Structure 1
């Protein structure tokens, strides 16, 4: 989508011509700038596949429509770690364990398939120029499919499907089906459009990601109850939740250069594994509601006191998760550096398979376990119920 924020874009210091174009999918030159443009020096050859930001440094741009700019930058953040580490635990602490559990399971599976598909298909991201890329970190990854679009579709529609089956507004009021469906559609659409606006994906990448996620939801939905029952009751759940994700991470598709996709995939699978083990352990001592039961819960009345309790639970929980993340991350890195006799100042060592996979898996599985076990216990001790 050509975003609503038009801007002046300067290619580089050595090319002083100013062109006028969109921030997202293409660049349209004004007649005056086309006449005054000097030929640019040839660019170094790109490696096959992913866009390499070191060859094409970020282009300067001027935002003339801040509404679209901030709307889509915020929407893009809904597919980042900051959203996952806040929204998914929030549903566990303030809504329902079943809702959170199913979203985490679907999110983990969908994201793994999306990340692996990128490195198998090896479709490049949009070139810059002509596209102005507003993000740099993800530029080393391939583009097809858009995992932001996949995650947004999976999370929003899983939340809608689970809540529409379990909740009603009041004694005589049914769940607002149309409102929930519209909210899920708007959420996933905004995230998808934000990836085009920021120049990180083509329209085909976003459509492909959305369709893949929709197909996976449709195929997996009949087995949700069975999977839920196994993960809550089977004595093999902890072993399964650790061994299978680790095997998938260690056997991730290899590339001819370093890409953050393997690390991101390990982060997702680690968080999912830790959360599932936490739900399993909680169910051993405090049986959770069986997902196969036919029941409907009423949304509790919203009062100022309840809002304050929800906010307090959220702030306490996120604070504990951030502390856990930093502490376990440093501890895991220190132990791995010592084991492999690597200098702690060697930042490149973190990209090695034998270090990246275990440190990220240990870190985020600890975060997931903390979110589903430690934080709820702390909420009980603080009487935030």
Structure 2
């Protein structure tokens, strides 16, 4: 995401709303504890304060792990493989499962991924925990929006573990159909996939141990639920009676409405909405398609009839290409249309008090039109951005490795940790006992930094490496680079050069380095539900029927 795009969007939003410039979006931030005490219920704030020390405690150990194992090759490997755990990867390949007759696997994936995104998003927005600090960590990512979310738990880990667990279950259920070597190889591949994604979140400095442990446990629970109850649920939906489908849709809408409000503008809710739309479209499409003459009931009702040997490579390729094209055309047409149609309707509903506004979304009464939105979708990007994304895979962006705050979350956590050091310094000056750090007496430039931040920022050989890495916490200007291994001097040059200003100037300098997120509009919620519900319906019913009608089917 280019900074100039965000600036243009903010200007467009202000001009269209004819209002003063809105307060900068402080998304996924870790502000002072009073902020969270005001914004969160007491029990949520209490949980957050309990877990914050864990996040800070594990940071230097994560940095030590990263320091011990980082190489240029591994940087590239984990930066690339992180894309295999993204929502976009799954959303691109899920429709293909349906079109190629693997409806049971496609539905299972939808259920597990949607549940994983929802429940991990609930925990993220409920507890508002930041990601581990950088520095001392290096952030290695090809996603410019990753740092905008809260850190706990890791949704990558949740998705990877649930998918791997279900795939292993399918392999074991059909062990007799595979050669022993193939059977063993596929199982190892599933384990390797999950391990790569989970460990990669630690290696890339995007998550801590607590994040990936809880995320993996959540994924295991969701995978087991799908294994035990998934087939029963599929049969229940495919009944001739539409009542089960309507009940499922109602439950999804209730879950959307009861999603907790975060203390900051975290985009987790956006992904929840998109996947909720997918689940709704899949259930409605599966029920209706199962009643048609185009579906078969093996292995579950609403399965698309597909035989590669009968269709051949050419027709199969045409099916997939045409199906993907229709999905992108649907998105390209419906999204702008809904963003024009819905605002007037929302303003009417708002006047009669029939809307329940959600925090951090601009109400329709405060703008006249929705400008063209950049980077508003983390699941399926617009077709125009695909060449740019492919180019990023060939030539990784220079922001693939970063040191220092990347979002308001990082900036506020950096300020909070600096304040902690200041308090420790004052207590030390007053004679109050504080935990002792192993470091030499500061001199010169170091003495100045120690006076400002309450700690020596330049470690010495006498200090343990963990303590040395801890000294780097709460420092840092943003520094972006290619996928290169770290050097100890990088932390000093990029992380430890601190501004000699008062607190407000210090805060301003940090926030001036951040890319400003875009404005979010209330109509985007329903827009995502309709657009992604339509994409799911096309995958489950619309495109399979079209394939049959134009000669790309089995009949």
The TM tier, using the shorter chain, reads 0.7 to 0.9
> Which residue, out of 289, 312, 334, partners 1:328?
334
Q: Taking structure 1 as reference, are residues 163 and 232 closer, same or farther at Cα in structure 2, changes over 3 Å only?
A: farther
Q: Is the 2:252–2:280 Cα contact (8 Å) retained in structure 1?
A: yes
Partner of residue 96, structure 1:
102
**Counterparts of 1:123-142 in structure 2 under 5 Å?**
123-133=129-139, 134=141, 135-142=143-150
Partner of residue 167, structure 2:
159
TM-score (norm 2): 0.52
Partner of residue 250, structure 1:
257
| 1:224, distance to aligned residue in structure 2 (A) | 2.1
| Residue 260 of structure 1 pairs with residue 270 of structure 2 | no
Count of residue correspondences = 320
| 1:310, distance to aligned residue in structure 2 (A) | 3.2
**Counterparts of 1:69-108 in structure 2 under 5 Å?**
69-108=75-114
Deviations 1:211-270 (A, max 9, x none): 221123224432222211111114124323432222211221012221101111011111
Partner of residue 287, structure 2:
280
RMSD: 3.2
> Which residue, out of 360, 366, 373, partners 2:528?
360
Using the alignment, how far apart are the partners of 2:183 and 2:526 within structure 1?
42
Q: Is the 1:154–1:213 Cα contact (8 Å) retained in structure 2?
A: yes
Using the alignment, how far apart are the partners of 1:323 and 1:300 within structure 2?
27
Structure 1 unmatched runs, 5+: 1-44, 52-63, 294-298
| Residue 149 of structure 1 pairs with residue 157 of structure 2 | yes
Partner of residue 214, structure 2:
208
**Counterparts of 1:286-365 in structure 2 under 5 Å?**
286=293, 287-289=295-297, 291=299, 306-339=312-345, 340=347, 341=364, 342-345=367-370, 351-352=520-521, 354-365=522-533
Using the alignment, how far apart are the partners of 1:85 and 1:219 within structure 2?
21
Q: Is the 1:167–1:175 Cα contact (8 Å) retained in structure 2?
A: no
TM-score (norm 1): 0.73
Using the alignment, how far apart are the partners of 2:208 and 2:548 within structure 1?
47
Q: Taking structure 1 as reference, are residues 383 and 72 closer, same or farther at Cα in structure 2, changes over 3 Å only?
A: farther
| 1:284, distance to aligned residue in structure 2 (A) | 1.0
Using the alignment, how far apart are the partners of 2:326 and 2:244 within structure 1?
25
| 1:146, distance to aligned residue in structure 2 (A) | 0.6
**Counterparts of 1:48-59 in structure 2 under 5 Å?**
none
| Residue 47 of structure 1 pairs with residue 31 of structure 2 | yes
Partner of residue 33, structure 1:
none
Q: Is the 1:79–1:148 Cα contact (8 Å) retained in structure 2?
A: yes
Partner of residue 202, structure 2:
196
Using the alignment, how far apart are the partners of 1:331 and 1:364 within structure 2?
14
Find the residue that maps to 2:262 and give its secondary structure.
coil
Q: Taking structure 1 as reference, are residues 301 and 249 closer, same or farther at Cα in structure 2, changes over 3 Å only?
A: closer
Using the alignment, how far apart are the partners of 1:330 and 1:175 within structure 2?
50
Q: Taking structure 1 as reference, are residues 292 and 93 closer, same or farther at Cα in structure 2, changes over 3 Å only?
A: closer
| 1:183, distance to aligned residue in structure 2 (A) | 1.8
Partner of residue 14, structure 2:
none
Q: Of the two, which has the highest radius of gyration?
A: 2
Using the alignment, how far apart are the partners of 1:315 and 1:372 within structure 2?
16
Q: Taking structure 1 as reference, are residues 184 and 222 closer, same or farther at Cα in structure 2, changes over 3 Å only?
A: same
Q: Is the 1:196–1:203 Cα contact (8 Å) retained in structure 2?
A: yes
| 1:164, distance to aligned residue in structure 2 (A) | 4.6
Deviations 1:293-330 (A, max 9, x none): 9xxxxx97879x83443333222211111111222211
Q: Is the 1:328–1:366 Cα contact (8 Å) retained in structure 2?
A: no
Using the alignment, how far apart are the partners of 2:341 and 2:215 within structure 1?
38
Q: Is the 1:168–1:175 Cα contact (8 Å) retained in structure 2?
A: no
Q: Is the 2:124–2:152 Cα contact (8 Å) retained in structure 1?
A: yes
Q: Is the 1:237–1:277 Cα contact (8 Å) retained in structure 2?
A: no
Q: Is the 1:350–1:356 Cα contact (8 Å) retained in structure 2?
A: no
Using the alignment, how far apart are the partners of 2:312 and 2:210 within structure 1?
43
Select the structure with the greater relative contact order (CA < 8 A; seq sep ≥ 6). 2
Q: Taking structure 1 as reference, are residues 227 and 153 closer, same or farther at Cα in structure 2, changes over 3 Å only?
A: same
Partner of residue 11, structure 1:
none
